[in-house]
A and B are shown apart, each in its own frame.
Chain A
Amino acid sequence: MIRALVLLIFLAVPLAAAFAISDPAEMLPDPKAEARAEAIGRQLRCLVCQNESIEDSGADLARDLRHIVRQHVAAGETNKEIIAWMVARYGDFVRLRPPFEPLTWLLWASPALALVAGAVIVAFALREKRPPPAPLSAAEQRKLKDVLKS
Protein backbone atom coordinates (compact mmCIF):
# COMPACT_ATOMS: atom_id res chain seq x y z
CA MET A 1 0.00 0.00 0.00
CA ILE A 2 2.68 2.46 1.06
CA ARG A 3 4.72 1.40 -1.91
CA ALA A 4 1.89 2.06 -4.30
CA LEU A 5 1.41 5.48 -2.78
CA VAL A 6 5.06 6.36 -2.99
CA LEU A 7 4.93 5.48 -6.65
CA LEU A 8 1.98 7.82 -7.05
CA ILE A 9 4.24 10.74 -6.25
CA PHE A 10 6.13 10.07 -9.39
CA LEU A 11 3.18 9.70 -11.71
CA ALA A 12 5.14 11.68 -14.22
CA VAL A 13 7.84 9.00 -14.40
CA PRO A 14 6.51 6.12 -16.49
CA LEU A 15 8.54 3.35 -18.14
CA ALA A 16 11.26 5.79 -19.03
CA ALA A 17 11.36 9.52 -18.89
CA ALA A 18 11.34 10.41 -22.53
CA PHE A 19 12.80 13.87 -22.18
CA ALA A 20 16.38 13.47 -21.24
CA ILE A 21 17.06 16.82 -22.79
CA SER A 22 18.11 19.64 -20.61
CA ASP A 23 17.86 23.27 -21.42
CA PRO A 24 20.98 24.31 -23.32
CA ALA A 25 20.84 27.54 -21.35
CA GLU A 26 21.92 25.67 -18.22
CA MET A 27 25.02 24.23 -19.85
CA LEU A 28 28.32 25.82 -18.93
CA PRO A 29 29.84 28.06 -21.62
CA ASP A 30 33.30 26.56 -21.15
CA PRO A 31 33.28 23.19 -22.95
CA LYS A 32 35.94 21.78 -20.60
CA ALA A 33 33.95 22.70 -17.53
CA GLU A 34 30.78 21.37 -19.14
CA ALA A 35 32.52 18.07 -19.90
CA ARG A 36 33.65 17.83 -16.29
CA ALA A 37 30.15 18.59 -15.06
CA GLU A 38 28.78 15.90 -17.35
CA ALA A 39 31.33 13.38 -16.11
CA ILE A 40 30.31 14.13 -12.52
CA GLY A 41 26.64 13.95 -13.44
CA ARG A 42 27.11 10.51 -14.97
CA GLN A 43 28.29 9.24 -11.57
CA LEU A 44 25.23 10.55 -9.76
CA ARG A 45 22.02 8.67 -9.64
CA CYS A 46 18.73 10.29 -10.45
CA LEU A 47 16.81 9.60 -7.24
CA VAL A 48 13.30 9.50 -8.59
CA CYS A 49 13.77 7.54 -11.77
CA GLN A 50 16.07 4.74 -10.59
CA ASN A 51 19.11 3.51 -12.37
CA GLU A 52 19.64 6.48 -14.59
CA SER A 53 22.24 9.10 -13.99
CA ILE A 54 21.07 12.66 -13.57
CA GLU A 55 22.56 13.38 -16.99
CA ASP A 56 20.26 10.83 -18.60
CA SER A 57 17.11 11.70 -16.78
CA GLY A 58 14.38 14.10 -17.68
CA ALA A 59 12.98 14.27 -14.16
CA ASP A 60 12.56 17.66 -12.56
CA LEU A 61 14.81 16.83 -9.61
CA ALA A 62 17.53 15.53 -11.93
CA ARG A 63 17.41 18.81 -13.78
CA ASP A 64 17.85 20.72 -10.51
CA LEU A 65 20.76 18.49 -9.53
CA ARG A 66 22.39 18.93 -12.93
CA HIS A 67 22.09 22.64 -12.44
CA ILE A 68 23.65 22.45 -8.98
CA VAL A 69 26.56 20.36 -10.25
CA ARG A 70 27.25 23.01 -12.88
CA GLN A 71 27.13 25.81 -10.32
CA HIS A 72 29.65 23.99 -8.17
CA VAL A 73 31.88 23.28 -11.16
CA ALA A 74 31.74 26.93 -12.14
CA ALA A 75 32.67 27.83 -8.57
CA GLY A 76 35.83 25.78 -9.05
CA GLU A 77 35.08 22.91 -6.68
CA THR A 78 36.79 19.56 -7.22
CA ASN A 79 34.88 16.48 -8.36
CA LYS A 80 35.37 14.99 -4.91
CA GLU A 81 33.87 18.00 -3.18
CA ILE A 82 30.84 18.04 -5.46
CA ILE A 83 30.16 14.35 -4.97
CA ALA A 84 30.61 14.76 -1.21
CA TRP A 85 28.02 17.57 -1.31
CA MET A 86 25.54 15.20 -2.94
CA VAL A 87 26.36 12.32 -0.59
CA ALA A 88 25.77 14.58 2.42
CA ARG A 89 22.20 15.10 1.22
CA TYR A 90 21.27 11.80 -0.38
CA GLY A 91 23.70 9.28 1.08
CA ASP A 92 25.84 6.78 -0.81
CA PHE A 93 22.69 5.82 -2.69
CA VAL A 94 23.33 8.78 -5.00
CA ARG A 95 26.66 7.40 -6.20
CA LEU A 96 26.42 5.11 -9.21
CA ARG A 97 30.05 4.22 -8.59
CA PRO A 98 30.00 2.93 -5.02
CA PRO A 99 32.82 4.14 -2.74
CA PHE A 100 35.56 1.76 -1.67
CA GLU A 101 34.74 1.05 1.95
CA PRO A 102 34.34 -2.06 4.13
CA LEU A 103 30.78 -2.57 2.94
CA THR A 104 31.85 -2.64 -0.70
CA TRP A 105 35.17 -4.45 -0.39
CA LEU A 106 33.56 -7.64 -1.56
CA LEU A 107 32.00 -5.85 -4.51
CA TRP A 108 35.21 -4.25 -5.70
CA ALA A 109 37.15 -7.44 -5.08
CA SER A 110 34.67 -9.51 -7.07
CA PRO A 111 36.73 -9.62 -10.30
CA ALA A 112 39.83 -10.81 -8.45
CA LEU A 113 37.87 -13.22 -6.26
CA ALA A 114 36.19 -14.74 -9.31
CA LEU A 115 39.55 -15.30 -10.98
CA VAL A 116 40.98 -16.86 -7.82
CA ALA A 117 37.96 -19.15 -7.54
CA GLY A 118 38.46 -20.18 -11.16
CA ALA A 119 42.14 -20.92 -10.50
CA VAL A 120 41.26 -22.96 -7.41
CA ILE A 121 38.78 -25.06 -9.37
CA VAL A 122 41.34 -25.69 -12.10
CA ALA A 123 44.02 -26.57 -9.54
CA PHE A 124 41.62 -28.93 -7.89
CA ALA A 125 40.75 -30.60 -11.17
CA LEU A 126 44.40 -30.98 -12.18
CA ARG A 127 45.34 -32.45 -8.80
CA GLU A 128 42.82 -35.22 -9.04
CA LYS A 129 44.13 -38.62 -9.88
CA ARG A 130 42.49 -40.13 -12.85
CA PRO A 131 41.54 -43.79 -12.58
CA PRO A 132 42.53 -46.05 -15.44
CA PRO A 133 39.66 -46.53 -17.88
CA ALA A 134 37.24 -49.14 -16.57
CA PRO A 135 37.58 -52.55 -18.20
CA LEU A 136 34.96 -53.25 -20.82
CA SER A 137 31.95 -55.19 -19.69
CA ALA A 138 31.16 -58.52 -21.30
CA ALA A 139 28.49 -56.90 -23.46
CA GLU A 140 30.89 -54.19 -24.56
CA GLN A 141 33.56 -56.80 -25.38
CA ARG A 142 31.08 -58.53 -27.63
CA LYS A 143 30.08 -55.30 -29.32
CA LEU A 144 33.70 -54.37 -29.82
CA LYS A 145 34.30 -57.69 -31.50
CA ASP A 146 31.32 -57.08 -33.76
CA VAL A 147 32.60 -53.67 -34.68
CA LEU A 148 36.07 -54.92 -35.42
CA LYS A 149 34.77 -57.77 -37.51
CA SER A 150 32.58 -55.62 -39.75
Chain B
Amino acid sequence: MSAAPPARGLSRRALLGIPLAAAAAAGAGFYALLRRMEAGHYDPHAVDNPLVGQAIPDFAPLPAQDPASIGFGSADLRAALHATGRPILVNFFASWCVPCRIEHPQLMAMTGAGIAIWGIAYKDQAADAAKLLGEEGNPYARLARDENGRVSIDWGLYGVPETFLIDRAGIIRGHWAGPLAPETVRDEVSPLLRKYA
Protein backbone atom coordinates (compact mmCIF):
# COMPACT_ATOMS: atom_id res chain seq x y z
CA MET B 1 0.00 0.00 0.00
CA SER B 2 1.40 3.41 -0.84
CA ALA B 3 0.46 6.59 1.02
CA ALA B 4 -3.16 6.23 2.03
CA PRO B 5 -5.63 8.62 0.46
CA PRO B 6 -7.42 10.98 2.85
CA ALA B 7 -10.31 9.43 4.76
CA ARG B 8 -13.69 9.63 3.17
CA GLY B 9 -16.72 10.88 4.94
CA LEU B 10 -17.16 12.72 8.16
CA SER B 11 -19.10 9.90 9.77
CA ARG B 12 -16.18 7.49 9.60
CA ARG B 13 -13.89 10.04 11.18
CA ALA B 14 -16.46 10.74 13.88
CA LEU B 15 -16.93 7.04 14.58
CA LEU B 16 -13.21 6.59 15.09
CA GLY B 17 -13.15 9.57 17.41
CA ILE B 18 -15.73 8.06 19.76
CA PRO B 19 -13.20 6.08 21.84
CA LEU B 20 -11.23 9.25 22.53
CA ALA B 21 -14.36 11.15 23.48
CA ALA B 22 -15.57 8.36 25.75
CA ALA B 23 -12.21 8.06 27.47
CA ALA B 24 -12.04 11.82 27.91
CA ALA B 25 -15.49 11.89 29.49
CA ALA B 26 -14.62 9.04 31.84
CA GLY B 27 -11.33 10.71 32.72
CA ALA B 28 -13.05 14.00 33.47
CA GLY B 29 -15.52 12.17 35.69
CA PHE B 30 -12.78 10.43 37.63
CA TYR B 31 -10.93 13.70 37.99
CA ALA B 32 -14.01 15.44 39.36
CA LEU B 33 -14.50 12.63 41.87
CA LEU B 34 -10.87 12.75 42.96
CA ARG B 35 -11.08 16.50 43.54
CA ARG B 36 -14.27 16.09 45.54
CA MET B 37 -12.65 13.34 47.55
CA GLU B 38 -9.67 15.56 48.30
CA ALA B 39 -11.97 18.36 49.35
CA GLY B 40 -13.91 15.97 51.56
CA HIS B 41 -17.19 16.32 49.66
CA TYR B 42 -17.14 12.77 48.40
CA ASP B 43 -16.51 9.74 50.51
CA PRO B 44 -16.96 6.37 48.85
CA HIS B 45 -17.58 4.83 52.25
CA ALA B 46 -20.28 7.21 53.45
CA VAL B 47 -23.98 6.37 53.28
CA ASP B 48 -26.59 9.10 52.78
CA ASN B 49 -29.40 8.77 55.27
CA PRO B 50 -32.77 8.54 53.49
CA LEU B 51 -34.59 9.85 56.57
CA VAL B 52 -33.45 13.42 55.99
CA GLY B 53 -36.57 15.43 55.14
CA GLN B 54 -38.81 12.90 56.86
CA ALA B 55 -40.37 12.61 60.28
CA ILE B 56 -38.37 10.93 63.02
CA PRO B 57 -39.00 7.19 63.27
CA ASP B 58 -41.35 6.06 65.99
CA PHE B 59 -39.77 4.22 68.87
CA ALA B 60 -40.93 3.19 72.32
CA PRO B 61 -39.23 4.91 75.25
CA LEU B 62 -35.68 3.72 75.72
CA PRO B 63 -34.36 3.32 79.26
CA ALA B 64 -31.88 5.77 80.74
CA GLN B 65 -28.25 4.97 79.99
CA ASP B 66 -27.21 5.46 83.62
CA PRO B 67 -28.93 6.45 86.86
CA ALA B 68 -28.00 10.11 86.40
CA SER B 69 -29.75 10.45 83.04
CA ILE B 70 -33.32 10.30 81.68
CA GLY B 71 -34.31 7.99 78.85
CA PHE B 72 -36.76 8.89 76.07
CA GLY B 73 -38.87 7.67 73.18
CA SER B 74 -40.10 9.35 70.00
CA ALA B 75 -43.15 10.73 71.85
CA ASP B 76 -40.92 12.46 74.41
CA LEU B 77 -38.82 13.93 71.62
CA ARG B 78 -41.87 15.28 69.80
CA ALA B 79 -43.31 16.70 73.00
CA ALA B 80 -40.08 18.50 73.80
CA LEU B 81 -39.83 19.90 70.26
CA HIS B 82 -43.39 21.11 70.49
CA ALA B 83 -42.92 22.61 73.93
CA THR B 84 -39.68 24.49 73.26
CA GLY B 85 -40.32 25.29 69.59
CA ARG B 86 -36.60 24.90 68.94
CA PRO B 87 -34.65 22.23 67.09
CA ILE B 88 -32.95 19.40 68.93
CA LEU B 89 -29.80 17.50 68.00
CA VAL B 90 -29.92 13.74 68.50
CA ASN B 91 -26.45 12.29 68.87
CA PHE B 92 -25.65 8.58 68.75
CA PHE B 93 -22.41 7.66 70.46
CA ALA B 94 -20.62 5.00 72.49
CA SER B 95 -17.89 5.18 75.06
CA TRP B 96 -15.94 2.50 73.20
CA CYS B 97 -15.84 4.60 70.06
CA VAL B 98 -12.64 6.57 69.60
CA PRO B 99 -13.94 9.21 67.17
CA CYS B 100 -16.76 10.01 69.61
CA ARG B 101 -14.13 11.45 71.92
CA ILE B 102 -12.89 13.63 69.09
CA GLU B 103 -16.29 15.26 68.67
CA HIS B 104 -17.01 15.48 72.39
CA PRO B 105 -15.60 19.02 72.85
CA GLN B 106 -17.84 20.24 70.01
CA LEU B 107 -20.88 18.75 71.72
CA MET B 108 -19.88 20.38 75.01
CA ALA B 109 -19.47 23.74 73.27
CA MET B 110 -22.90 23.50 71.65
CA THR B 111 -24.56 22.58 74.94
CA GLY B 112 -22.77 25.52 76.47
CA ALA B 113 -24.31 27.73 73.79
CA GLY B 114 -27.77 26.59 74.82
CA ILE B 115 -28.40 24.01 72.12
CA ALA B 116 -30.41 20.98 73.20
CA ILE B 117 -28.60 17.70 72.51
CA TRP B 118 -30.26 14.40 73.26
CA GLY B 119 -28.02 11.36 73.29
CA ILE B 120 -28.53 7.71 72.50
CA ALA B 121 -25.80 5.36 73.68
CA TYR B 122 -25.32 2.63 71.08
CA LYS B 123 -24.55 -0.80 72.54
CA ASP B 124 -22.73 0.68 75.50
CA GLN B 125 -22.09 -0.34 79.11
CA ALA B 126 -23.77 1.91 81.67
CA ALA B 127 -20.64 2.23 83.80
CA ASP B 128 -18.36 3.02 80.85
CA ALA B 129 -20.61 5.79 79.56
CA ALA B 130 -21.01 7.27 83.04
CA LYS B 131 -17.24 7.25 83.47
CA LEU B 132 -16.64 8.98 80.15
CA LEU B 133 -19.24 11.65 80.80
CA GLY B 134 -17.96 12.10 84.34
CA GLU B 135 -14.45 12.74 83.05
CA GLU B 136 -15.17 14.85 80.01
CA GLY B 137 -18.48 16.46 80.84
CA ASN B 138 -22.05 15.54 79.94
CA PRO B 139 -23.45 17.44 76.95
CA TYR B 140 -26.74 15.55 76.88
CA ALA B 141 -30.03 16.93 78.13
CA ARG B 142 -31.32 13.37 78.05
CA LEU B 143 -29.39 10.18 77.52
CA ALA B 144 -31.12 6.98 76.47
CA ARG B 145 -29.68 3.52 76.10
CA ASP B 146 -30.07 1.42 72.95
CA GLU B 147 -28.71 -1.84 74.21
CA ASN B 148 -29.30 -4.07 71.20
CA GLY B 149 -29.02 -1.29 68.63
CA ARG B 150 -32.46 -1.85 67.11
CA VAL B 151 -33.72 1.71 67.53
CA SER B 152 -30.46 2.92 66.02
CA ILE B 153 -31.11 0.76 62.97
CA ASP B 154 -34.55 2.39 62.66
CA TRP B 155 -32.66 5.66 62.37
CA GLY B 156 -30.48 4.18 59.62
CA LEU B 157 -27.40 4.26 61.81
CA TYR B 158 -24.34 2.51 60.38
CA GLY B 159 -21.65 3.60 62.80
CA VAL B 160 -21.03 5.88 65.72
CA PRO B 161 -20.99 8.78 66.10
CA GLU B 162 -23.87 10.05 64.00
CA THR B 163 -25.81 13.25 64.63
CA PHE B 164 -29.31 14.25 63.48
CA LEU B 165 -30.91 17.67 63.54
CA ILE B 166 -34.69 17.64 64.17
CA ASP B 167 -36.83 20.73 63.59
CA ARG B 168 -39.73 21.65 65.83
CA ALA B 169 -42.19 19.80 63.60
CA GLY B 170 -40.29 16.60 64.20
CA ILE B 171 -38.74 16.48 60.73
CA ILE B 172 -35.11 15.38 60.35
CA ARG B 173 -33.30 18.28 58.68
CA GLY B 174 -29.67 17.34 58.97
CA HIS B 175 -27.53 14.24 59.31
CA TRP B 176 -23.81 13.89 59.92
CA ALA B 177 -21.97 10.57 60.07
CA GLY B 178 -18.60 10.55 61.77
CA PRO B 179 -17.29 12.99 64.35
CA LEU B 180 -18.41 16.60 64.09
CA ALA B 181 -15.37 18.76 63.43
CA PRO B 182 -15.41 22.38 64.65
CA GLU B 183 -15.65 23.49 61.00
CA THR B 184 -18.64 21.21 60.42
CA VAL B 185 -20.38 22.73 63.43
CA ARG B 186 -19.59 26.24 62.20
CA ASP B 187 -20.39 25.75 58.52
CA GLU B 188 -23.18 23.19 58.56
CA VAL B 189 -24.78 22.54 61.94
CA SER B 190 -25.07 26.13 63.17
CA PRO B 191 -26.62 27.56 59.99
CA LEU B 192 -29.20 24.77 59.97
CA LEU B 193 -29.95 25.35 63.65
CA ARG B 194 -30.51 29.04 62.93
CA LYS B 195 -32.67 28.23 59.92
CA TYR B 196 -35.02 26.02 61.90
CA ALA B 197 -34.87 27.98 65.17
Contacts and interface: CB of A to CB of B under 8 A. Distances in A.
Interface of A: 1-3, 5-11, 47-48, 50, 60-61, 64-65, 68, 87-91, 93, 121, 124, 128, 131, 133-134, 137
B12 interface: yes
Interface in B85-144: 97-99, 102, 123
B192 interface: no
Interface of B: 1-2, 5, 12, 15, 37, 40, 43-51, 97-99, 102, 123, 148-150, 153-156, 158-161, 177-179, 181, 184
Given A2-B178, A93-B47, A137-B2, A10 B149 contact: no
Nearest to B177: A6
Which DSSP category, helix, strand, loop or mixed, fits chain B's interface? loop
Given A61-B153, A64-B150, 4 more contacts: A5-B179, A6-B159, A9-B178, A50-B45
A9 B181 contact: no
Contact of A3 (B2, B15, B37, B149): B37
B102 A3 contact: no
B153 A65 contact: yes
